[in-house]
Amino acid sequence: MTGGSRGIGRAVARKLAQDGLAVVVNYARDAEAAEEAVAAITADGGRALAVRADVADEKEVADLFDRAEAEYGGVDVVVNAAGRLALSPIADLDLAEFDAVHRTNVRGTFVVAQQAARRLRAGGSFVGFSTSVVGTQFPAYGAYAASKGAVEAMTLILARELRGRDITVNAVAPGPTATDLFLDGKTPEQIDQLTKAPPLERLGTPEDIASAVAFLAGPQGHWINGQILRANGGLV
């Protein structure tokens, strides 16, 4: 479970643990948040440990999978929730920030997916993360949406490359979701506008997204393969 220490990733880690999976909570920098996520899972009776790795570093990711296999005997579900966001009109974005977004979101997804393809056992699942902005095309999300378009392409191709191995590959594309990262820097008027955008007229919650991921990762969702699930309350 990459990006499992905060926000949506943390909710996913907790939900998967509640469903009976032993969870490796990966983090890049915030060890304290990762340990808090682990503590919450274990307090509920689940099994979890925190492991640091940069998702774009192939050696660190290989070591992360080694640790999961050593601790739990194998890998059955991989969820890649690690991501980076930069908001700016295309004309104004610093290209160093563009490179940083794509290092995490594109290279990071590819590196994690590569290890998942090598390590997942039969019956397993890989769930990546896109964004509904690929479809809604909100201004200022150019670099981010472009990176997630690449994630969607990888998802569809990897599902076909794993033919015959009984492994599903899907991605969840959240819409506006009430996390600290999403709410930070937005005015009350902007938040109100985004709240009213879906037909359900509310923001998503991390638990909404976690339930979608758990469905795709679990036996109930195993006939779903090579799909992008837009978990966004009905946004176009």
**Which tokens is 128 given?**
């990546």
Phi-psi sector, 22: left (phi>0), alpha (psi -120 to 50), beta: beta
Contact 94, 144 (CB under 8 A): no
Active site residue 141: no
**Which tokens is 212 given?**
């979608």
**Cα–Cα distances in Å, from 66 out to 86, 97, 104, 107, 115?**
32, 31, 21, 20, 10
Paired strand residues for 26: 51
Catalytic residue among 27, 72, 141, 144: 144
Annotated catalytic residues are 144
